[in-house]
Structure formats: C-alpha cells, structure tokens
Amino acid sequence: MAHHGFDTDPRLLRAFAVLADELHFTRAAARLFVAQQALSRDIRRLEREWRTPLFVRSTRRVALTPEGERLLPVALRVLAAYDDLTAAIGAGADRPLVVDVQAQVSTGRLVLEAARRAVDERELDLEFVARFHSGLTRAADEIAGGRLDVSFGRVAGLDPALRTGLAHRLVRYERVAVLVPEDHRLAALPEVPLAALAGETLYAAAGNADTAEWTDFAHQLLDGTGAALAPPFPRIEGDAEFVRVMRRQGWSVLASELFLGVPGMALRPLTDPVPLSPVSLVWRSGLRHPALAALLDAARDLGAAGGWLDHPPGAWLPDADRRLLAAAG
C-alpha cells in the first residue's frame, strides 16, 4: 500500500507554509526566491503526494482548503524540527550571527556592543552582523524564515503562533516615557503621571504590522486614561523621516527611556504607576552558536551592573507579560 507524505521534501513543506501565510503566489514566490511557476509546480506536486487539495485558486484569490488548514500546523511543526536539526548540525559554525537590535539607540545595541567588546578582548573569531528592523513582530517572522538569528523585544506581544519555535530570556525592564514638544505643557514636568496624559494623542506605531507588539502594549497602558492612540499611519522609515512626521502631525510619542534624541522634543518618564516594557533577547529554538552565548553573557553582565531587572514597587506590566515571565521562571 502506498504511503502519503512521509518522505515529503522540506522544500515543498516550506512552499506550503509560505503560500499559506501570504495567500498570494507572487509574494510567496518572492519570499522563497523562486519563480512563480516553480512555486505553483511545487504546490501541485505536494497536493499529488498528499492526495488532497491544499488551496483553492481563483483569478481573484488564493485560500486554504479545510484540509490545508488541518495540515498546516503539522507542517509547521515538521519545519521547525528541520530548523532545529539544521541549527544543531551547524553548532559551532563560523558563520556570522545575524542580530536585529531594533534601533540605533536600544537595549539590543548595548548588548551587541558589549558582546563584541568581550569577544575582541578574548580574541575569539566570532562575527556579529547587525540589523536595525524596528519591531519584534517582523523580527520573529524573519527568525522563523531563517533570515535572522536573534532579536530583542516584548515577547508577550507576539501572536502565539509566532512564539512557536522561539526561545527567549528577559534582559531588561525598560521604563516607558513620553516624547513631547519642548513647549508642551508636559515638558515642564520631570516625570509625567499617567493620568496627565488625558486628552493627548500619542503615536505608538498603529498601522505598522512590524511593531504590532508595541501598539498592543500602548492600547493596554492607555486604556481608561483618557489618552488616545494616533490613528494608523504608514510605516515611517528612518530617524529623519520620523522626526519630520511627528512635527508635522503634532503628535506626542509613547516611547522607551532609550530613544533617539529628537530636536525640539523632550523625553519624560511616565509615573503613577511606572509602566515597564519587558525586553527579552529572542532567538530560534535549537540555535547553537558561540556568538549567541556571548550575547547572553553580555546581557546578563550589563543587567547585573545596571540593575536592568530591578523595578519599583507597584510598577505596571500588562497581564500577558506577567503570565509569560512567571511561566518562564
């Protein structure tokens, strides 16, 4: 009796997973770096091997069939296992570790620079390549796709499906702040009580899918304060463009205590209660690389020296973050 699917080529599984994510042949083919015709051929081959249609295709749309929806989670688990195997086989490899530090001014960048110094002092032949992709939601997708090794951010804000296959370690509680024009009424305060935000419109990257975990944080923090989130706005690329848009729109910004200096604007920490944004170092489960160990060591040492894991009594965290951090021990 013939068997189905047990010898399926991992390439076909990846084609299935990416097309299921994009539901668009052109975009999926671009992500996979293959021609659209090759992707169509691979999907047809997989459907023949498994003897079931996985997608409904029409001139207007692509959709998963019920069988496709049933099989997708299983295929994703198999792909994750392949990735774990690849990482284990590559343990100790001398390839560079690709690290997304999120921004030029960030906890991630501090950790990366400390790790580089430690590696240089010990004369280890390890290389880190930095990326500056704002948003852990985007970075988690890049990690899952094998285009990135490590990132930093708020893990509890990720969709549970994105968290699958990720390992993480809390490295810092960043204090949350507000960035306001220098002539704003709140700029005169050394710290801004949360209740004083009533009536303000704050930018928190609504509409930018890459940073969905931060917008989610902002929604929870501002709920009931009388402050509003700025409406969805196209993704802003680069510091200069960010400054221009904020000035043009007249928005205040919900930010971290670590934030780029913006001419004409003042950064003020929030208080009563003190909101904290947990920043974790995040990597692909099963990744074994000596440069990852150097990053974890650097984060631990910086945290110990700087009190990064201290937080004031009564500090505010979203419930999802408390639960995740408690589960992680």
Give pLDDT, residue 94.
67
Give pLDDT, residue 42.
92
* Confidence check: pLDDT of 163 > 90: no
Stretch 10-37: mean pLDDT: 87
The domain containing residue 46 runs over which residues?
10-89
Give pLDDT, residue 110.
95
Q: How confident is the model at residue 6 (pLDDT cuts 50, 70, 90)?
A: low
In this structure, the dihedral spanned by the alpha carbons of residues 303, 238, 167 and 175, taken in order and rounded to 10 degrees, is 40
Give the chain's mean pLDDT: 87
* Confidence check: pLDDT of 91 > 80: no
pLDDT, tens digit, for every residue of 50-86? 999 999 988 778 999 999 999 999 999 888 887 776 6
Q: Do residues 168 and 281 both lie within one domain? A: yes
Q: Do residues 179 and 266 both lie within one domain? A: yes
pLDDT, tens digit, for every residue of 264-277? 788 999 999 999 99
Q: Biggest alpha carbon distance in the chain?
A: 79
| Residue 4 lies inside a defined structural domain of this protein | no
Q: Do residues 123 and 149 both lie within one domain? A: yes
Q: Do residues 155 and 187 both lie within one domain? A: no
Q: Do residues 134 and 199 both lie within one domain? A: no
The amino acid present at 28, given as its one-letter code, is A
Closest CA to 196 of 268, 266, 255, 147: 268
State the distance between the two ends of the chain, measured CA to CA, in whole angstroms.
49
Q: Do residues 35 and 73 both lie within one domain? A: yes
Domain count, the chain: 3
Q: How confident is the model at residue 136 (pLDDT cuts 50, 70, 90)?
A: very high
Given 89, 119, 135, the domain boundary residue is 89
Q: Annotate 198-218 with b (16+ C-beta within 10 A) or e (fewer).
A: eebebbbbbebebbbbbbbbb
pLDDT, tens digit, for every residue of 92-118? 456 899 999 988 889 999 999 999 999
Q: Do residues 256 and 206 both lie within one domain? A: yes
Given 89, 119, 136, the domain boundary residue is 89
Give pLDDT, residue 242.
78
Q: Do residues 154 and 285 both lie within one domain? A: yes
- What CATH number should be reported for the domain holding residue 182? 3.40.190.10
Given 56, 73, 89, the domain boundary residue is 89
Give pLDDT, residue 45.
93
Q: Do residues 47 and 104 both lie within one domain? A: no
Q: pTM of the predicted model, to two decimals?
A: 0.70
Q: Do residues 195 and 262 both lie within one domain? A: yes
Stretch 144-166: mean pLDDT: 88
| Residue 1 lies inside a defined structural domain of this protein | no
Q: Do residues 179 and 258 both lie within one domain? A: yes
Q: Do residues 280 and 318 both lie within one domain? A: yes
* Confidence check: pLDDT of 329 > 70: no
Lowest mean pLDDT of 39-43, 256-260, 285-289, name the range.
256-260
pLDDT, tens digit, for every residue of 274-318? 999 999 999 998 888 889 999 999 999 999 999 999 988 889 999
Give pLDDT, residue 164.
78
